[in-house]
């Protein structure tokens, strides 16, 4: 009779395990040119981030990782932990300004990519996915600083030896390809696209010129909470007062005031004078 065994990992060990498996998928995706493996790399680093956030909450108070904490109930292995959105709100209270400093839109990026892969058609662009991964890996590095046992402990110590070269390459990619712009971390390419788009202030629709509606203006989505524009656009990362990237699902048509992406008005760029 085969002797039974059991795998046991605590929150932090599980987080580092997902970090290593995400790096393994990156290496395999690059060496075999199997692009579908990138979805597993993104998912696993998102899982790593979620577990690190839970560990940070647990250290503040062990009950903070659970979904329902306002009514007494014995904690068991079946007790549900808090979902992503609740974890993020709680971590804001626990970490304060430090959270805003290290996050800068990256938790939203991780959540968006994870949800897209798990719940929708998968659509990953290259090399954007590599830049996104390096961005999220840097967030992991910053979160590690919040939960490490000493200042001498580095993330390298938790990365498998055969993956250290790739981890270092991704760190270099973050330095070379990622910038802090509009209050968040993004690729240099996206920043340049946003800056270039600001020159395209008008659209030509059926022979008439119209000024484009900027993010957060009174003409844009006036039927929803106006506080939405205190954060960058969820789809194209512009901030209040900036013109959306063409094709963004938040831009409104300046003629019919419906969603430009689907309104049916025949528009074209009007070259800047």
The 3-class SS string of 42-72 reads HHHHHHHHHHHHHHHHHHHCHHHHECCCCCC
Please determine, for residue 66, whether its predicted confidence score (pLDDT) is greater than 60: yes
Which pLDDT score, from 0 to 100, does residue 272 have?
65
Comparing 159 with 69, which gets the higher pLDDT?
159
Q: What are phi and psi of 70, to 5 degrees?
A: -95, 5
Task: Tell me the pLDDT band of 223, cut-offs 50, 70 and 90.
Answer: low
Please determine, for residue 244, whether its predicted confidence score (pLDDT) is greater than 80: yes
Tens digits of per-residue pLDDT, 81-115? 999 999 999 999 999 999 999 999 999 999 999 99
Q: What distance in Å separates the CA atoms of residue 67 and residue 120, rounded to the nearest whole number?
A: 25
Q: What distance in Å separates the CA atoms of residue 51 and residue 257, rounded to the nearest whole number?
A: 42
Tens digits of per-residue pLDDT, 172-219? 999 999 999 999 989 999 999 999 999 999 999 999 999 999 998 877
Average confidence (pLDDT) over 243-258: 92
Q: Are strands 202-205 and 178-181 parallel, antiparallel or unpaired?
A: unpaired
Which percentage of the chain shows pLDDT scores above 90?
Answer: 73
Domain regions of the chain by residue span: 11-188, 198-273
Neighbouring residues of 257: CB distance < 8 A, sequence distance ≥ 6: 213, 219
Tens digits of per-residue pLDDT, 129-182? 999 999 999 999 999 999 998 999 999 999 999 999 999 999 999 999 999 999
Q: What distance in Å separates the CA atoms of residue 53 and residue 48, rounded to the nearest whole number?
A: 9
Please determine, for residue 269, whether its predicted confidence score (pLDDT) is greater than 90: no
Q: What distance in Å separates the CA atoms of residue 39 and residue 53, rounded to the nearest whole number?
A: 21
Average confidence (pLDDT) over 245-252: 92
**Average pLDDT over the chain, rounded to whole?**
91
Q: Are strands 178-181 and 267-269 parallel, antiparallel or unpaired?
A: unpaired
Which pLDDT score, from 0 to 100, does residue 123 have?
86
Query: Which stretches does DSSP call E strand in 214-269?
Result: 267-269
């Amino acid at each position: 009779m085969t002797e039974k065994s059991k795998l046991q990992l605590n929150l932090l060990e599980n987080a580092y395990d997902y970090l290593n498996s995400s790096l393994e998928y990156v290496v395999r995706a690059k060496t075999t040119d199997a692009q579908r493996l990138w979805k597993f790399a993104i998912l696993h680093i998102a899982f790593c981030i979620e577990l690190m956030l839970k560990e940070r909450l647990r250290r503040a108070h062990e009950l903070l990782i659970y979904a329902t904490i306002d009514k007494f109930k014995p904690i068991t292995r079946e007790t549900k932990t808090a979902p992503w959105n609740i974890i993020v709100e709680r971590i804001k209270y626990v970490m304060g300004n430090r959270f805003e400093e290290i996050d800068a839109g990256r938790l939203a990026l991780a959540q968006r990519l994870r949800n897209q892969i798990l719940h929708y058609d998968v659509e990953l662009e290259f090399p954007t996915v590599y830049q996104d991964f390096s961005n999220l890996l840097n967030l992991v590095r910053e979160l590690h600083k919040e939960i490490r046992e000493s200042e001498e402990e580095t993330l390298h110590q938790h990365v498998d030896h055969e993956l250290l070269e790739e981890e270092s390459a991704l760190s270099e990619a973050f330095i070379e390809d990622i910038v802090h712009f509009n209050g968040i971390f993004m690729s240099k390419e996206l920043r340049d696209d946003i800056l270039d788009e600001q020159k395209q202030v008008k659209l030509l629709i059926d022979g008439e010129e119209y000024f484009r509606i900027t993010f957060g203006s009174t003409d844009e989505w006036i039927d929803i909470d106006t506080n939405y524009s205190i954060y960058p656009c969820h789809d194209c990362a512009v901030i209040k007062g900036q013109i959306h990237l063409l094709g963004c699902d938040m831009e409104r048509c300046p003629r019919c005031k419906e969603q430009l992406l689907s309104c049916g008005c025949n528009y074209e760029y009007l070259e800047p004078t």
